[in-house]
Structure 1
């Protein structure tokens, strides 16, 4: 990366997301390892971090950049607190992950196992929780429409939904769990988020299979051979 940095035009940035969870960064000024104490911000929960590519933590409908795009780092064997976003959400997993989502029409939590290169789209106000099934830090690329992490509607947890539900009663949208612009039943939202929490407590966040661990080892070996 240090050698490559000397070849980069000014303004061009290069990121290497290593299979071991490290992030190398290079620009014309040189190369270095990115870490949580430098270019990363807290990402909803402790032990999870985000580096913004587009937008920032203060992005909102009142301070728009249309979307936020960020690099996220999820600690080994950990999951985000179940939540719902005010805007739609795209996550590209670069490792072995899972996403528990609440299926409102069926009234149940669906667990979706993700693998390196899997991209998942989650509609606005759909309760979900993203988890790292592996034993090394997990890299994700996350894009959210309209909201940065500092906005009150970026990640609505069960506790926050219960607080809002106690303060106001608003009509329910035609899909059951709808955006605030249509009207959100925060009681239903809180119950769905609590369901995901219970599933996580009973089933855990899942683990990697022997085949997946073998593939991860091959991927680390390939990365060592491919990089300059």
Structure 2
């Protein structure tokens, strides 16, 4: 991640911030600079970020935390996410509704159950998408630089077994096979990127499925998104989008704090 050069003007500004006030600069190059009364620094996966569904994707909580759940509520979680260049999340669904604000050129693949097909929605900087609970989807970064997103989920943090249910997990639930807390959406076990040691098993009885949930059908919908990703990839930016990205970086320099 780049963007550390922008920490200098924020550093000058940080000395004027009241105690308890935080300031974030979300750079057009994917960098995130944080400032408070004590100074400014770039946030990076090594310290302030958790693994976010897949290896190479990261999240930094603003509201709630990874352990948020209906039993430990904060009503919603809000977090900054960093999506790796030219990559996409494993198709999944959330137990609660989901909002994502894209600050770069992204795409969201969604399964439209009414039409029985995958719909791909291209997103440009500043577009926010709402995804209903339990709708299979996958968020992708079409660009060649890290993509910053702002994501809000109702009810669940990434350590909860219903935060990000994948096709594999849905198939296990349909078959009644116990699953583990260290699933694809979990940051448990290490508190840092890449932790993959399984935690203590949780039987399907510990988290009863919502009434009427057909996990077998949902798994097929997730697999349909995977098939589209396999054939089409994550998509690419257009010439106009690449030009706009360059102009946005110039604007960021001109408009940045002095």
Report the Cα distance in structure 1 between the residues aligned to 2:43 and 2:212, rounded to whole angstroms. 41
- Does the residue aligned with 2:118 lie in a helix, a strand or coil? strand
Aligned alpha-carbon RMSD (Å): 1.1
* Cα distance per residue 1:165-213 (max 9 Å; x no partner): 1118xxxxxxxxxx94323100001000000000000011100000000
Structure 2 unpaired stretches of 5+:
1-9, 178-207
* Cα distance, 1:12 vs structure 2: 0.4
* Cα distance per residue 1:51-78 (max 9 Å; x no partner): 1011000000011111000000000000
Aligned mate of 1:8, from 17, 20, 28: 17
**Counterpart for residue 234 of structure 2:** 205
- Does the residue aligned with 2:173 lie in a helix, a strand or coil? helix
Q: Which runs of 4+ in 1 moved over 4 A?
A: none
**Superposition TM-score, scaled by structure 2 size:** 0.83
Report the Cα distance in structure 2 between the residues aligned to 1:4 and 1:79, rounded to whole angstroms. 35
Structure 1 unpaired stretches of 5+:
169-178
Report the Cα distance in structure 1 between the residues aligned to 2:122 and 2:99, rounded to whole angstroms. 15
Report the Cα distance in structure 2 between the residues aligned to 1:221 and 1:96, rounded to whole angstroms. 17
- Does the residue aligned with 2:74 lie in a helix, a strand or coil? coil
**Counterpart for residue 131 of structure 2:** 122
* Cα distance per residue 1:115-137 (max 9 Å; x no partner): 00000000000000000000000
- Does the residue aligned with 2:226 lie in a helix, a strand or coil? helix
Q: Does 1:193 align with 2:202?
A: no
Report the Cα distance in structure 2 between the residues aligned to 1:226 and 1:66, rounded to whole angstroms. 35
**Counterpart for residue 40 of structure 2:** 31
**Counterpart for residue 135 of structure 1:** 144
Q: Does 1:112 align with 2:141?
A: no
* Cα distance per residue 1:68-92 (max 9 Å; x no partner): 0000000000000000100000000
**Counterpart for residue 76 of structure 1:** 85
**Paired residues, number:** 218
* Cα distance, 1:101 vs structure 2: 0.2
Report the Cα distance in structure 1 between the residues aligned to 2:15 and 2:172, rounded to whole angstroms. 53
